[in-house]
Structure 1
Amino acid sequence: MERVLITGGAGFIGRFVADELMRRGHQVRVLDSLIEQVHGQIDRPAMLHEDVELIRADVRDGAAVARALEGIDSVVHLAAEVGVGQSMYEVERYTSVNDVGTAVLFEKLIQRPVRRVVTASSMSIYGEGLYRDQDGALVETAERTTLRDGQRNWEPVDAQGRPLAPVATPEWKRPNLASIYALNKYVQERTTHILAAPYGIEGVCLRLFNVYGPGQALSNPYTGVLAIFAARLLNGQQPMIFEDGEQRRDFVHVTDVARAFADALELPGAAGGTFNIGSGTDRSVTEVARALARAMGKNQIEPEIVGKARIGDIRHCFCDTGRAREAIGFEARQDFEAGLAELAEWVAEQTAEDRVHSARAELEARGLVA
């Protein structure tokens, strides 16, 4: 048994990680600022286990971080501003919380080392995922031509203009940082690996793909895509999908992600590693929107295909889970349809303020929708 600090632990993923760690016999302390965009105006999230000690403070507050680390054996670092689109205009806020907050945490860890730190990274650091060209060669550096309104071909092509075929993305694929959020997550990842080992700390990073499940912030228009779709459907509105809706993603249930964090914290084989955490199954965004509508009993509501792209978005990226399977035995267990049914059941008991159109207007006003 260890005493574990989870930064950002009052958030969607953090609450499930806390539950999983406590189920395994660990004691959990959470440091979280409870920002209004995610949590609304509350003092403590209802889904945060009553036995979790909560310290309400900003991860950039060095004195608070030092207090939070007292008596702690290991750290799960989740504290971050999350959202590709918003990161492209709230640049200082995202960089400060994500990069400076991580720097503050590690400065305090230098003074008070722990056994292991597991940091949440993101699939966004890849930019476009891995592709294969028509000659069979793998392509790590796929890019799209300049995006424009109503274009018909959203797919990356090779130098000869031939379409590329997306394949599962492994950890060795080089980063292609297409948004400030992606840059932030890569800085968090590299900070963990650069600073952990010299001070006798074991550093681990988990690159999360699209996490979904009950408890996500439905009124936050920059949260996970399934939560955004669920909020729209709950209010009788069409899920809004950029481009043509055929972009492919990997959706992984939050309970699988929580188990991955707990295993990455405990198992010797994780030390020093960086691992993809996803389901290993790719789905189109339109397919997912329709499946969620069915699960919520809203079959009659078809998604709205916008035909425009957000600057910083990528076309295809889905998960190669081989390294995580070999090092920590990770495999996603949650069936997707069953996970959607669980999400739909939870959403039916919620209220959500639909802020999607205001978020889109904000992006368009800043020239971030092509």
Structure 2
Amino acid sequence: ASSMSVYGEGLYETTAGERRAHIRRSPAEIKAGAWNPSGPDGERLRPIATDENKPVDLASIYALTKYAQERQVLIFGEAYGTDAVALRLFNVYGAGQALSNPYTGVLANFASRLANGQSPMVFEDGRQKRDFVHVRDVARAFRLALEQPHAAGHVINIGSGNAYAIADIASLLAEAMGVPEIEPEIINKARSGDIRNCFADIAKARDLLGFEPAHRLEDSLADFAQWVRSAGAIDRGAEMKRHLEARGLVL
């Protein structure tokens, strides 16, 4: 189980259709509220689906550990003649998430806030995009990877293949939880190390695994909201924000 975090920023293309794979925002740009990355010469860029050919760009300790783990597994498999595959999971959601851990997935974080009558905290301007994949689709992807011998030795994206703006996710979840009047709190500040956009190209998963997502986010939030209500959640979002600010990790 690897992670989309190994990519850093996702793929972009210029207005001329040229791919840009090595994109990072500087702290100065982020502090100035220049949320969208630009090219080396300042050219405008458009985010596109990230495929497995994008070089990794390890921008966090978490990404470093996940990349080390996937390489360990694949090197072991090649050396010992054992089938091994690394699935790069995008933003996984579903029943069973740790609702009271503010550093877990964004949907769980938002759900904890909403369940306690608080606005979801959205960093930057809320227009950053992510790919959300249901845990049942992820479980099926692992089963398929076990069943398909020609997947051995590969790294494969597992996502929904769709891109969602984070602020839109907060509003959709509020509606699903029956509190549409609770609007997201747009922070207009960034967390250190956060990327702007990354969403999955899942063509390789379709080709090698026969994988096709069965659970669209829009159709799954009602069930997720019902589970949140039954599970209970302690909101630690404000505490998380204070900790990040105290350590200089909010720009």
CA contact (8 A) 2:123 2:186 kept: yes
How do residues 236-251 of structure 1 correspond to structure 2 at under 5 angstroms? 236-251=117-132
Q: Match of 1:203, SS?
A: coil
Report what 1:131 is aligned to.
12
- Structure 2: segments with no counterpart, 5+ residues: none
CA contact (8 A) 1:209 1:250 kept: yes
Q: Does 1:253 align with 2:134?
A: yes
Q: Give the counterpart of 2:237 among 356, 361, 369.
A: 356
Report what 1:151 is aligned to.
32
How do residues 72-91 of structure 1 correspond to structure 2 at under 5 angstroms? none
Q: Match of 2:197, SS?
A: coil
User: Residue 172 of structure 1: CA displacement?
Assistant: 0.7
Q: Give the counterpart of 1:319 among 195, 200, 218.
A: 200
C-alpha distance in 1 between matches for 2:55 and 2:211: 22
CA contact (8 A) 1:240 1:305 kept: yes
* CA deviation vs aligned residue, 1:190-241 (integer Å, no higher than 9, x gap): 1111122212211110000011111111001111110000000000000001
C-alpha distance in 2 between matches for 1:349 and 1:129: 36
C-alpha distance in 2 between matches for 1:140 and 1:133: 11
Report what 2:47 is aligned to.
166
Report what 1:295 is aligned to.
176
Report what 1:330 is aligned to.
211
User: Residue 335 of structure 1: CA displacement?
Assistant: 2.3
Q: Match of 2:235, SS?
A: coil
Identity across the alignment (%): 55
Q: Match of 2:50, SS?
A: coil
C-alpha distance in 2 between matches for 1:164 and 1:207: 24
Q: Does 1:270 align with 2:156?
A: no
C-alpha distance in 1 between matches for 2:40 and 2:10: 17
Q: Match of 2:178, SS?
A: coil
User: Residue 362 of structure 1: CA displacement?
Assistant: 1.4
Paired residue total = 251
Q: 1:341 to 1:147 in 2, by over 3 A?
A: farther
AA aligned to 1:248 is K
Q: Give the counterpart of 1:192 among 73, 96, 101.
A: 73
User: Residue 127 of structure 1: CA displacement?
Assistant: 0.3
User: Residue 135 of structure 1: CA displacement?
Assistant: 2.2
User: Residue 353 of structure 1: CA displacement?
Assistant: 1.2
Q: Give the counterpart of 2:93 among 212, 219, 222.
A: 212
- Structure 1: segments with no counterpart, 5+ residues: 1-119
Report what 2:163 is aligned to.
282
TM-score by length of 1: 0.66
AA aligned to 1:223 is T
User: Residue 367 of structure 1: CA displacement?
Assistant: 1.3
Q: 1:141 to 1:148 in 2, by over 3 A?
A: closer
* CA deviation vs aligned residue, 1:268-320 (integer Å, no higher than 9, x gap): 12211110000001010001110000000110000011111111110000000
RMSD of the TM alignment (CA)? 1.2
Q: 1:147 to 1:300 in 2, by over 3 A?
A: farther
Q: Give the counterpart of 1:224 among 76, 84, 105.
A: 105
AA aligned to 2:116 is N
Q: Match of 1:308, SS?
A: coil
Which structure: larger Rg? 1
Greater RCO, CA 8 A, separation 6+: 2
AA aligned to 1:336 is L
Q: Match of 1:275, SS?
A: strand
CA contact (8 A) 1:147 1:309 kept: no
C-alpha distance in 1 between matches for 2:27 and 2:126: 18
AA aligned to 1:234 is A
AA aligned to 1:212 is Y
C-alpha distance in 1 between matches for 2:206 and 2:102: 33
Q: Which moved more, 1:140-149 or 1:195-204?
A: 140-149
* CA deviation vs aligned residue, 1:29-65 (integer Å, no higher than 9, x gap): xxxxxxxxxxxxxxxxxxxxxxxxxxxxxxxxxxxxx
CA contact (8 A) 2:29 2:35 kept: no
Q: Match of 1:348, SS?
A: helix
C-alpha distance in 2 between matches for 1:338 and 1:227: 17
CA contact (8 A) 1:148 1:308 kept: no
TM-score by length of 2: 0.97
How do residues 113-132 of structure 1 correspond to structure 2 at under 5 angstroms? 120-132=1-13
C-alpha distance in 1 between matches for 2:175 and 2:94: 16
